[in-house]
Amino acid sequence: MFKVGVITCSDKGFLGEREDLSGKLIIDILERNEYKVESYKMIPDDKEVIKKTMIDMSDKLKVNLILTSGGTGFSKRDVTPEATLEVSDKNANGIAEAIRSYSLSITKRAMLSRAVSAIRGDTLIVNLPGSPKAVEEALDYILDTLFHGLEILTDTRHDCARK
């Protein structure tokens, strides 16, 4: 069972002005798919806070996966992708590209996503959209493949070739 950290980046959510439906949905979907949510944080759209939260989850809690929600749009306060890249060792571009590509089949607005995916040590970090509908669509699309990627990242599986 892979350990996961969930981070919602939202000024309004952090201030209690908006309920975090996306973060709760991520947790629900993960638990239904046998992932163990180790930590959930609702934080403001502040790059340093986002970076510190990701570093803590990765380095201290040793989660295998961090899923973020929010902060990937065009607003001046949207800095989740920048924070993700600043704490990462390697890019894992294909995941964010796959989400965007799939989402474009649903809405043209997906082209406005700046979400990224990357690796810090033994932790995969994936930025998800802020809307619950988009979160559910993205996770439905990538979750089974993420499992295989996490097996490779955590050295619990070695055979990548299809039979």
Indicate yes or no: pTM above 0.85.
yes
Cα–Cα distance, 42 to 68 (Å, whole number): 10
Q: What is the pLDDT along the chain (163 residues), one digit of tens a residue?
A: 899 999 999 999 999 999 999 999 999 999 999 899 999 999 999 999 999 999 999 999 999 999 999 999 999 999 999 999 999 999 999 999 999 999 999 999 999 999 999 999 999 999 999 999 999 999 999 999 999 999 999 998 766 655 5
CATH fold label, 3-153: Molybdenum Cofactor Biosythetic Enzyme; Chain A (3.40.980)
Cα–Cα distance, 122 to 128 (Å, whole number): 19
User: Can you give the residue ranges of every domain in the chain?
Assistant: 3-153
Residue 13: partners with Cβ closer than 8 Å, 6 or more residues away: 19, 20, 23, 42, 70
The DSSP element (H or E) to which 138 belongs, if any, is helix 132-153
